[in-house]
Amino acid sequence: MNRFGPVLENVSFQNTRFDPNQTRFERLASKMAAAFGYSAELPGDPRLLQLLRLRVAQLNPCSYCLILHTEVATKIGISQVVVAHLPSWRESTMFSVKERASLEYCEALTVFNQERFAAAHDKLRAHFTERDVAEIAAVIINMNVWTRLKLAQGAVPVDAEAMRANETQIRGRDDSA
């Protein structure tokens, strides 16, 4: 078992487009992740910040980030029902007023539209201090950097168990031919 728990136990990631270590960007992004990523010690509500990370991963959509942040969400106590329901947060009663304002802000910042963003920012400020908004923005921006990096490098999940099952199935067909 690895540090992410059972879901990632058999999953690794393979870059299909480029090795991110070819530039200094990966190191710079890693510093930002240390400051605002899922393992950073931030003053905000851990559930809210993880929901925002997961929503960015859904919007982009980044397999690496979806798998990682779904596992982290479960690990910190966010139920699988809430995680599964996240894309339909607008129609849900599972999210608090603060979470709903934050998710709206997250979407407006990720899929940027000036009018929508300004309104979402105003709603967010009704629930959070300026510092809280800055922390929330930093988490969302950090996630957008990582999702785009992982998408650009073509980080695809490789499930060792599924690959073994497929290979066994293929060998079985070859033997019967």
Whether 139 contacts 52, CB under 8 Å:
yes
Pick the CATH number of 22-176 from 1.25.40.340, 3.40.1080.10, 1.20.200.10, 1.20.1290.10: 1.20.1290.10
Angstrom distances, CA of residue 10 to CA of 6, 7, 135: 8, 7, 33
SS3 content of the chain, % helix, strand, coil (to 5): 70, 5, 25
Burial class (CB in 10 A: 0-12, 13-18, 19+), 164: exposed
Q: List, for residues 33-89, the tens digit of each pLDDT value.
A: 888 878 888 888 999 999 999 999 999 988 888 998 999 999 999 999 999 999 999
Q: Quick one: tokens of 110?
A: 């990720």
| Distance from C-alpha of 66 to C-alpha of 44, rounded to nearest angstrom | 21
Q: List, for residues 165-176, the tens digit of each pLDDT value.
A: 666 666 666 555
The predicted model scores a pTM of 0.80
Domain ranges of the chain: 22-176
